[in-house]
Amino acid sequence: MIPTIAPLSQVIDGVRVAEGTTTTCDNCQQQLEEGHPVRSRIEQQSLVEEWTPCRLHCERCGYQESLNTPGTALVAGRLGTVRDTQTQSSWLVLLEPEPITVYPYWLSPGSK
């Protein structure tokens, strides 16, 4: 398999951020639902794995998030809802993400 290089915004578009149709800001506990603008800190465990969200903030609190770990990024986007009628389940996803700050692995101390 030949690896494909794609922009971060394309790789994380539609990534699952929470189960159900609502969640809360990790900082102020504001309820967030479909259509809300959000900021998310995402992580990449290695160079070949997918990015996964680890923190979710309302637009106001997202400015307080800082990056100090290689393989992390802060992105802005909005929440969307995916529904699976067969399983009667739904979850929130990140839509139209735009990277704000990226701390890639290649900037980590000792990397080549």
The answer to whether the pTM exceeds 0.95 is: no
- Residue ranges covered by each domain of the chain: 8-107
Which CA distances in Å does 104 have to 15, 36, 44, 70? 19, 27, 9, 5
pLDDT at 43: 87
Nearest to 62 by CA among 77, 40, 78, 42: 40
Residue pLDDT tens, the chain, 112 long: 445 567 778 778 888 999 999 999 999 999 999 999 999 998 887 665 678 888 999 988 877 777 777 788 899 999 999 999 999 999 999 999 999 888 865 544 444 4
pLDDT at 72: 86
